[in-house]
């Protein structure tokens, strides 16, 4: 990320910053990796440590299948009936000790506020619009947006009234960032990167609330949910600066890398976390070698599980796919186009598909409830 500043801040960090009445604003350093990673400094009207009540609310970790046959899986997330706010509507589908993955049908705003103390979050907006309200300021969202929310950020999702938001979420147990190979030694995105800083949207402005009272911040940490009641509004920040803040990037701004022959999945990479990557498949021209085969070749994921979330368009290598489908192709066995799809791709000029891929370098486990969403014959759909 790059440096940003919003609101009022003092000339020097860690110095007195006084209000009009002579009292001090409260400085908070919010950083990663023990003060050696990315960080921002925020200035509050009130002490961010002012908690009047704290309660343990139980584990949030999902239960996985006990025995899992090695096979390709297909889940229809449009069958998920759960609705609610951006926290209560989350339906966990897959996960491991590096990340949790699921979808949510967000039909209402959060009454409380929320922060993830276990890692960064990535929200991909499939349908809907609204605001991501945060302690750093709000970000408007629309279909195709990736919302990257750093660990410890207090926020809430407010969908546009009457318009539900369907989202794919990734709860990481690490930091989510842009791929290292896209950046130079100074952190700037390189010319051959499929997107640049101009495509990244940070908080639009800073809304500061001074009011006192009891405000709940639901906190996830150490695999459990905790309720913290603050003695003031959590968005009491008058100014901040630094490199750590929530941001948005729309999948439509990802510029695909193409070639004379079929390009491997890493050219679609958009984000990376600890032991996983996120890729964007967007409309693009096909390969231009006179004898090229645009459809992907059969391949074995010998070191990673491959998950695809299908957003919209023509999914040229698959049959029976719907918008909102999730396919899981686990490591250890090959996968690839369905019968007839390779031949059908020859001579085609472009694809109009839109999909999000998550590759994990440790096996994904399937949550028990996901069985209700599964097409059980998917493993045999290549016959």
E strands, 15-111, are 26-31, 39-44, 51-59, 73-76, 83-84, 90-95, 99-106
**Is 161 a domain residue?**
no
Contact indicator for 360, 99 with CB cutoff of 8 Å: yes
Distance CA 210, CA 247 (A): 24
pLDDT at residue 317, as a whole number: 66
Can you list the residues of the chain whose pLDDT is less than 50?
none
Task: Kindly give, in sequence order, each residue whose CB lies less than 8 Å from that of residue 108, ignoring residues fewer than 6 positions away.
Answer: 83, 84, 85, 159
Contact indicator for 28, 48 with CB cutoff of 8 Å: yes
**Is 319 a domain residue?**
yes
**Is 260 a domain residue?**
yes
**Is 128 a domain residue?**
no
Q: How far, CA to CA in Å, does 72 sit from each of 280, 318, 321, 375?
A: 21, 13, 14, 10
What is the side-by-side order of every strand in the sheet holding 237-242? 4-7, 237-242, 39-44, 26-31
Rounded to an integer, what is the distance from CA 215 to the centroid of its chain? 26
**Is 150 a domain residue?**
no
Residue-range definition of the domain harbouring residue 355: 254-380
Residue identified by tokens 């967007």 is 282
Q: SS3 of 77, please?
A: helix
Residue 299's H or E segment, with its range, is strand 299-300
Domain total of the chain: 1
Task: Kindly give, in sequence order, each residue whose CB lies less than 8 Å from that of residue 163, ignoring residues fewer than 6 positions away.
Answer: 128, 129, 130
pLDDT at residue 68, as a whole number: 84
Q: SS3 of 222, please?
A: coil
CA torsion sign for 44, 48, 53, 57 is: positive
CATH of the domain at 258: 2.60.120.10
For residue 305 the two structure tokens come to: 């599980």
**Is 5 a domain residue?**
no
**Is 360 a domain residue?**
yes
**Is 264 a domain residue?**
yes
pLDDT at residue 316, as a whole number: 66
């Amino acid at each position: 990320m790059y440096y940003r500043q919003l609101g009022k801040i003092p000339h020097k960090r860690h110095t007195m910053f006084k209000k009009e009445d002579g009292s001090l604003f409260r400085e908070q350093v919010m950083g990663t990796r023990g003060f050696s990673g990315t960080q921002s400094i925020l200035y509050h009207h009130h002490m961010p440590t002012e908690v009047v009540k704290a309660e343990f609310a139980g584990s949030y970790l999902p239960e996985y299948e006990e025995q899992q046959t090695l096979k390709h899986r297909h889940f229809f997330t449009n069958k998920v009936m759960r609705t609610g706010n951006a926290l209560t509507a989350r339906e966990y589908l897959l996960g491991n000790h590096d990340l949790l993955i699921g979808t949510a049908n967000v039909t209402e705003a959060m009454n409380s506020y929320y922060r993830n103390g276990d890692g960064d979050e990535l929200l991909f907006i499939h349908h809907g619009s609204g605001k991501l309200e945060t302690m750093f300021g709000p970000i408007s969202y629309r279909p195709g947006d990736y919302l990257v929310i750093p660990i410890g950020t207090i926020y809430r999702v407010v969908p546009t009234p009457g318009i539900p938001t369907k989202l794919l979420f990734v709860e990481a147990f690490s930091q989510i960032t842009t791929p290292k190979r896209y950046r130079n030694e100074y952190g700037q995105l390189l010319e051959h990167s499929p997107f640049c800083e101009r495509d990244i949207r940070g908080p639009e402005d800073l809304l500061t609330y001074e009011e006192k009272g009891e405000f709940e911040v639901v906190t996830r940490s150490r695999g459990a949910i905790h309720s913290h009641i603050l003695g003031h509004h959590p968005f009491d920040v008058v100014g901040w600066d630094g490199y750590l803040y929530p941001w948005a990037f729309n999948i439509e701004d990802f510029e695909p890398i193409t070639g004379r022959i079929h390009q491997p999945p890493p050219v679609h990479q958009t984000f990376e976390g600890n032991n996983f990557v996120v890729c964007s498949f967007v409309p693009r021209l096909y390969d231009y070698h006179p004898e090229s085969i645009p459809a992907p070749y059969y391949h074995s994921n010998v070191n990673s599980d491959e998950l695809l979330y299908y957003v919209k368009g023509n999914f040229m290598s698959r049959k029976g796919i719907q918008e909102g489908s999730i396919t899981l192709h686990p490591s250890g066995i090959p996968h690839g186009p369905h019968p007839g799809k390779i031949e059908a791709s020859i001579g085609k000029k472009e694809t109009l598909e839109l999909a999000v891929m998550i590759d994990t370098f440790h096996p994904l486990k399937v949550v028990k409830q996901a069985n209700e969403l599964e097409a059980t014959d998917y493993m045999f759909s290549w016959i």
